[in-house]
Structure 1
Amino acid sequence: MTARAIFTLTVFLLWTALLIPVQMLLIRIRSPLRRSLPHFYHRSVAWLLRIKVRQIGAPAAPPVLFISNHISWLDIVVLSAVTRASFIAKREVAGWPFFGTLARLQRTVFVDRDVRRRTPEHRDEMRERLEQGDSLILFPEGTSSDGLRIQSFKSAFFAAAEQPVNGRPVTVQPVSLGYARLNHMPVGRRWMPIFAWVGDEDLVPHLWRFLKAGPSEAVVEFHQPVTMEDFASRKGMAAWCHQRVLEGLSDINAGRTAGHRTPPKPVRHTPPQQDSAPAVEAGATG
């Protein structure tokens, strides 16, 4: 296992080093391929890491604000393998060695999540990117989870969806992401720490443990797209998206067949959900 992990890491670093200058050039000349290369790159990385990505549903036509739960650094690989989108991440990521460079090359939008006075500035930056035709992926929990629960969605992050973009309402699409199998067996509670990266755990040991773990399967479910016109407020949209994502993750964790639910149509009221609400369990087997 250790020899394979070393081989995988070596190939990953060489492949990444080869494509970094290509993406830098594409960004500099503003080529449309600057959106496609990260998608191609992460599909190849998923293959290299032996992650089989099972997709349920389809992403809406760009530009889209995707709303996803957040479990691990692996989410970047998995979501980028099925979408052509940039991420919205905390500003600290920009300063991370190596991975900060990759984030910038994927044209990540960096935000100060704990500085509320900068919310309008971040909203405007996200809207500008949407106006340019870019899709964005938002993790509205504001942190990663243990893969078994979902924290409440902070409604302030939905500010970019409140005003039309290019004369049309912003399309918002909830996405459920989970890790279902490891070594062809259900992950369950016992093995979820192989995937989940939470707390103060250092990235390198977690990456190394994953590389030695074996082949895995991730599941991504795209839910019904909505717009702010379907809701009375962004709190209502945040609560509705939270429920869709929770349902999807519950099915993934329980090993149930997903994708056959008929989600209720959004209603124009604000459900009683507070930003400080506790995490909600998304049941897992094992």
Structure 2
Amino acid sequence: MTDVTHHRITRDEFTPIEATDPAPARHAWFPSSPCGAGCITAAPTTRGRGAVALRIAAVAATVGWLVPVGAMVQLLPRPLRRRFIRVAAHSLLGALGIGVEIDDRRPFAGRGAGLVVANHTSFLDIVAIATVVPARFVAKSELQGWPVIGGLARRLGVIGIHRESLRQLPTVLEQMVAGLHADDAVGVFPEGTTWCGRSGGRFRPALFQSAVDTGASVLPMHVGFRAGGVDISTIPAFIGDDDLLDTVRRILTTRDLTVCVRLHELQFPGTDRRELAGRCERLVFGPVSLPPAAADLDRVHALTLAG
């Protein structure tokens, strides 16, 4: 197995946050997004209290059968476990009142995936992607402690990451490489944090090294939400000062919410993680203007995460 701890992850692979950030524990390259409450648009149509209560009951009933069945499914062969995860993801989204629309642009749809990379808008992204490709996602560690979503995350084998610590990246890379060698689909959100969906962040190259080291193919995906006649809905976005209940409340009270999952052609990893990240970013976002990347500081000071 490749020793990923010897790769240098340089400062250009992290976007600086403003010096006024109030959290003293955060490093200068902590993932940040300008999106906040001002990005959230009103729902075109909303549900009444009775309809919301029915949705809550549907979620509770769905979780009620997913948990015990999921425990038994762990004893079955991998193909059956993956099928169960797809069914579970569809069921959970359906209970929340969210439709699923798949746009598969792969010329050879049955070839599977190695590293899955996608834009990041909501905690629902992992669930939406799991309807097509159940993957072990790299996600913030606290996600696994959340109700409902956390249970599915644990079933998927989420790789937890403490974003406050740059020193943890080599360990995360090692787990990603091990997963790819074991023929697991491993997922990552290269923006490093959530955006509202109307705009997005640059794809940071660091975790693309796992595909370069293993030669695993890369599947770029785009996840977007639509509500009523609004093509891009920010209602499910988990941004700014939102907590879990804020986002769930918006989702439950919105009618005609659909998640749209778009799969692009598998990419050969090549040997340059920066080139690979840029290539996947262009596929996911298309010809749109994204924020400029941080300056290349390789020549000034390389930040070695191995020690």
Report the TM-score, using the length of structure 1 for normalisation: 0.77
Structure-1 residue corresponding to 2:146:
96
1:1-286 alignment runs, 5 A limit = 1=47, 2-27=49-74, 29=75, 31-32=77-78, 33-48=80-95, 49-58=97-106, 61-164=111-214, 169-179=215-225, 181-183=226-228, 185-188=229-232, 192-229=233-270, 232-247=271-286, 273-274=293-294
Q: Match for 2:267: what amino acid?
A: V
Change in CA separation of 1:123 and 1:243 when aligned onto 2, cut-off 3 Å: same
Instruction: Report the secondary structure of 1:158's partner residue.
Output: helix
- Counterpart CA distance in 1 for 2:204 and 2:129 is 21
Structure-1 residue corresponding to 2:29:
none
Runs of 4+ in 1 over 3 A off after TM superposition: 272-276
- 1:174 Cα offset (Å): 1.1
- Counterpart CA distance in 2 for 1:170 and 1:91 is 25
RMSD of Structure 2 on Structure 1 (CA) = 2.3
Structure-2 residue corresponding to 1:261:
none
- 1:95 Cα offset (Å): 2.9
Instruction: Report the secondary structure of 1:149's partner residue.
Output: coil
- Counterpart CA distance in 2 for 1:149 and 1:134 is 30
Where in structure 1 are there 5+ consecutive unaligned residues?
251-271, 277-286
- Counterpart CA distance in 1 for 2:136 and 2:64 is 20
Structure 1 contact 5–208 (Cα < 8 Å) conserved: no
Q: Deviations for 1:68-126, whole angstroms, at most 9, x for unmatched residues?
A: 00111221232111223232211121233443233112211112333222222111111
Q: Match for 1:41: what amino acid?
A: A
Q: Match for 2:56: what amino acid?
A: L
Change in CA separation of 1:50 and 1:94 when aligned onto 2, cut-off 3 Å: closer
Which structure dedicates a bigger proportion of its chain to helix?
A: 1
Higher relative contact order (CA 8 A, sep 6+): 2
Q: Match for 1:200: what amino acid?
A: D
